[in-house]
Structure formats: C-alpha cells, structure tokens
Structure 1
C-alpha cells in the first residue's frame, strides 16, 4: 500500500470503530489528538523500515523491524501506557488501531490467497522477511511510476479523502469530550 492508502484505511476503520462507540453512547466526540494518533500509527512502520532498508541498507527489507509484531506490540503498549497515565487512553488506542491497520494492509492480499510465507515479516527477526521489495531509493521509485488513469483516479480519491479528514480535523476539539450522561 502507498502511504495515503494506509492512512485512508486506518482513518476509515477508526471512524467505524469510534462511530460505533459514539452510537452506543460509550464515548464522546472524537478529538484531533486521536485523528493525529491514528494517522501516525498508519505511517510509522514505513517511516522506520523503508528508509533503513532502501536508503541505508541497515535492515533486510522494507517490512522488517517496525513491521514485526515483536516491535509493534510493545511499542503500542508503551504508547498506550504513557497516554493512559496522562488521562488520554483513547489516543493510545487510536495509535494502536492505526498501527494494526497498517500491518493488516500489508498482509490482506496474502491472507486472501493464503500465502502464509509472506507473513514472515510479522515475526522478524525470528523469521526472515519475505523478499518482496527491490531496495530502490524513493527517487528511483518515484521516477519509475507510470502516470495512468487508475493512478490519477487513486490520487483524486486520496485528495477527496484528505479533504474529508482535514474538515473533520479542523472541526474536532483537541481532546475528547467526556461521554454525555
């Protein structure tokens, strides 16, 4: 998935989950902090792994260290613990949900076709990462992108989704409001 696709998928899942909680009267309005946390969670694995693998050749794959459950789970628990201590557990849950949607977004096709050998990155370094990428730099990758009608349509959808997110973000309070009694 591209970064904007991970963000859109995480945002959509977050809206469904949070919307259900609001509808069940289990929580108040969504906050900017939660929206930022879910987007940060959707981007962090690639922001760590892609540069370290593609640019610096420190990692064996663009899906290794930050894509591993051995890093993801403790990291999400640590973020949750910090924000829970500060009285904003919902922000930690949004981050963890965003992170989880990123990992799911990277395996859903392999899951659909039950190609379990492609799941190995989830347990890196205990298992070797699946060799899916070619270690090109971002510049080489961008130069090789062919502009097609489906790509332009995807950018249009991404721009529309980004606009919806921006409006939602600007209308939201910084912190969640307490549940109505």
Structure 2
C-alpha cells in the first residue's frame, strides 16, 4: 500500500472508532502519533533495505509482528499518564493498521503466503520486486484499481479529517512557527 493509503485507513479507523466508542473526534495528541505510526514500518525498513542493504527487504524488520509487539509493549511501559497513553494508542493503531493494510491485497488475491513478512525472521520473506530507491519506487507506480481505491480512501479520510476540525494541523503550524522564530532569532543575533 502507498503512504497515502496507510494514512487514510489509519485516520478513518481512528476517527470512526472514537466516534462510535464515545462520540469524540481525534485530537492532535492522537492524530500526530497515528500519522507517524501509519508510516513507521516503511520509514524504518525501506531505507534499511533499499539504501543501506541492512535488511533483506523493504518489508522486513519493522513489518514483523516479532518486532512490532515488543516495541509497542516497550512504548506502553515508557509512555504513562493520559497524554502518553493517548500518544501510544495513536501510534500503535497506526502501526498495526500499516501492517494489516500491507497484507490486504494479498488477502484479496488469496495469496496467503505473501503474509509471511508478518513473522519474519521466523518465516521466510515472500519474494516480490524490490525498488532500488524511494524515488524509483514512486516513479514506477502504475495507475491500477488498487491505487485509485487508495486515492479515494485518502479523499474520504481528508474529508472526515476536515469535518473533525483538522486535528493536529494547528499543532504542526505552531511547531513550525516556533522553529522559524528560533531560526530568525539565531540569525539576527549574529
């Protein structure tokens, strides 16, 4: 699945789950870690495989439940209090949604052996074409029904995010402004 597909499914699941559970919409404290979680396995595995050759595949390491479960347990232990637990919940949901959505096409196609990455290195990785780089991966994209579905999901998630009040947008804006103000002060003090 493409990055926007992971992000879209993650936000849709999060927002719809919170709405159905207690009638609330997601907050920045959940959405920002959710966004990171939906991309986390690819941010770790793709560079370690495609750029540095450390992992055998762009879907190894952080894509394995044998890594994800201990990592999420460690984060649960370290992130306590309401703020930490909300951040953990967002990240964990995004991370697990990523793992599931990477396997959804294999499930649809009945290619269950393609899900072996979920238990790597206990199971051998499936063989599939690897990209030589992130840029090459994007340039090789074809317009397929799967890609179009992901774009529609992204549109739906963006619409729901807007209806929810764009949680996280202002927090990112404030963070960027603080960084810009700090850089301006540093330059003017020279």
Q: TM-score range by the shorter chain?
A: 0.7 to 0.9
Q: What corresponds to 1:58 in structure 2?
A: 54
| Equivalenced residues, count | 170
Q: What corresponds to 2:27 in structure 1?
A: 31
- How far is the alpha carbon of 1:68 from its aligned partner? 0.3
Distance 1:143 1:87 in 2: 39
- How far is the alpha carbon of 1:53 from its aligned partner? 1.0
**Alpha-carbon displacement from aligned partner over 1:2-36 (angstroms, at most 9, x marks no partner):** 1011000111011111111223xxxx553201001
- How far is the alpha carbon of 1:96 from its aligned partner? 1.0
Distance 1:86 1:163 in 2: 28
**Alpha-carbon displacement from aligned partner over 1:86-128 (angstroms, at most 9, x marks no partner):** 6532221121111111011011122234322111111111111
The question of whether the paired residues in 2 share the 8 Å contact of 1:53 and 1:135 is answered with: no
Q: What corresponds to 1:127 in structure 2?
A: 123
Q: Please, what TM-score do these two structures have when normalized by structure 1?
A: 0.78
CA-based RMSD? 3.1
Q: What corresponds to 2:13 in structure 1?
A: 13
Q: Please, what TM-score do these two structures have when normalized by structure 2?
A: 0.74
Distance 1:98 1:65 in 2: 17
Query: Can you give the 5+ residue segments of structure 1 that lack an aligned partner in the other structure?
Result: 175-181
**Which is worse superposed, 35-44 or 154-163?**
154-163
Distance 1:171 1:141 in 2: 28
- How far is the alpha carbon of 1:152 from its aligned partner? 8.3
Query: Can you give the 5+ residue segments of structure 2 that lack an aligned partner in the other structure?
Result: 173-190
Cα 1:112/1:47, change in 2 over 3 Å: same
Are 1:104 and 2:100 counterparts? yes
